[in-house]
Amino acid sequence: MSERRVVITGIGCVSPLGNDLQSTWDGMKAGRSGISRITLLDPEPYECKIAGEVKDFAPDPYFRVPKDSRRSDRYVQFAVAAAKMAMADSGLDVSATDSRRVGVMVGSGIGGLGTLEREHEVCLTKGPKRVSPFTIPMMISNIASGIISMEHGLHGPNMVIVTACATSNHNIGEAWRMIKFGDADAFLAGGAESTILPMGLAGFANMKALSTRNDEPEKASRPFDKHRDGFVMGEGAGVVMIEELEHAKARGAKIYAELVGYGVSADAYHLSAPSPDGSGPAYAIGMALKHAKLNPEDVQYLNAHATSTGLGDIAETKAIKLAFGEYAQKGLMVSSTKSMTGHMLGAAGGIELIASVMAIVDGVVPPTINIEEQDPDCDLDVVPNVAREAKVDVALSNSFGFGGHNASLLVKRF
């Protein structure tokens, strides 16, 4: 791996806590839940009636041609919005740089499920000739990346990695790798998702993966709590501008943090359940530390994947103990911001890396809310219920996906 260093110079996000960085981060610091009763559809027939919806979102201003937003799936609208915010925040002037050296990797775990559902219904009820000619380009998982490149005139590497709920981390990590390798100088990277839809709700619910704490939406997402009963679906997008250090310095960019490590592995165990011994994620964490030339004790904060499922939170606790040894319970702060946003699936890693970066910038570790009785099998310092002021120099963010995909990102104070 080359000595080219990679820094984060721009941040953009859309989440159940707010439609920009400031409102999302303020919500996390305040320990505010973004979970409520579903309004995007009638939830009555569904076992799970709650989700982390993005509220009051108007996509048109984020597109150069407003009507293009109506030719885009909701997940793409979120991605384009977050990418535009990250680009503006970075201050990168594409006309003043080589656009072939700026890439895009903004993925989605599921893609345009809303478009697929809607046009499939049209096909069945009105006939095949009534199906929109935009159906295929609107629903495919790579199209957000393609549209972002068109919106900003970016001619560099453009692709996506789809690894379910590890999607954002893999896209950011592989973009980091390409910059390190010298194939690009900057990337817009992250993920977006919008699946609060009949098929999304029914599919996850019938796996018994979703919480049914419908009477207390704000308390339903409770990672590491003994009484958790499944995850709560969220939606939105998290995108960062990552940039080669000298390229960023040459244009006087502000730098949030340095991206210093990336680890990947597979559980090779089960379709949807994590390997119970935690060895896969532990290996990914170890790889990220090795890339960064850091020891476990150098990490102050870990943003956990912890989704609020029975098996997952325990498996990740074991992974953290394997990777960090005794330090896992003697100094490492671990929290799950999914307790506030819900599980944003392919967008989760983007939002959670942003939370990790902001913990370094602000000196505040976001809490795990809804801890009423901590599970004894999740015996870590989970920063229960209230944010904590603490100096964070190094933070790690975990994301794991159905299929056994594991990815860890490591950021450091610059």
Give the active site residues.
165, 305, 343
Q: Report which DSSP code applies to 212.
A: -
Q: Are 34 and 50 in contact (CB under 8 A)?
A: no
How far is it, in rounded angstroms, from Cα 368 to Cα 378?
12
How far is it, in rounded angstroms, from Cα 307 to Cα 236?
16
List the alpha helices (DSSP H) in 127-193: 135-139, 143-152, 167-181
- 232, HSE (Cβ side, Cα atoms, 13 Å): 31
Burial class of 10 by CB neighbour count within 10 A (0 to 12, 13 to 18, 19+): buried
Two tokens, residue 245: 């250090």
How far is it, in rounded angstroms, from Cα 29 to Cα 238?
17
Number of H helices and E strands in the chain, helices first, is 12, 13
Handedness of CA 291, 296, 300, 305 (dihedral sign): positive
List the one residue out of 52, 46, 40 whose CA is nearest residue 233: 52
Q: Tell me the one-letter amino acid at 92.
A: L
